[in-house]
């Protein structure tokens, strides 16, 4: 079984707040955010729209990338999103 690790960016309906995370199951994790399974930042700001992701075969590489993205400016995050998803559509729909 090949494991894949994902670094992702979620936003809210108005694209005003960005959240970066890492998981080994992007579909499940996005659904947890959408269903507000855990109280916290994403629930408080109603963050549930998947707008960007990258995948890695190594967890350490994914963790490094997550930290790199989190440490970057909002503008850098927006450029990443625009490179993959210029309309800022909810990419979760491609999983369902």
Quote the pLDDT of residue 23. Answer: 97
C-alpha closest to that of 11 among 65, 79, 77 = 77
96, pLDDT greater than 90: no
In the CATH scheme, what is the code of domain 5-94?
Answer: 3.40.1440.10
Three-state DSSP class for residue 24: coil
Per-residue model confidence (pLDDT) at position 12: 96
pLDDT at 1: 61
Strand order in the sheet with 5-11: 18-23, 5-11, 49-56
pTM, full prediction: 0.93
pLDDT at 68 (0 to 100): 98
Kindly report, residue by residue over 76-87, the tens digit of the pLDDT: 999 999 999 999
Do 11 and 88 form a contact (C-beta atoms < 8 A)? yes
| Tens of pLDDT, residues 31-50 | 999 998 888 888 899 999 99
């Amino acid at each position: 079984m090949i494991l894949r690790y994902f670094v992702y960016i979620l936003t809210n309906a108005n694209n005003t707040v960005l959240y970066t995370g890492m998981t080994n199951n992007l579909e499940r994790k996005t659904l947890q955010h959408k269903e507000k399974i855990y109280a916290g930042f994403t629930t408080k700001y109603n963050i549930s729209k998947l707008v960007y992701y990258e995948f890695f075969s190594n967890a350490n590489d994914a963790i490094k990338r997550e930290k790199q993205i989190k440490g970057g400016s909002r503008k850098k995050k927006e450029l990443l999103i625009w490179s993959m998803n210029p309309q800022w559509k909810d990419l979760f729909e491609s999983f369902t």
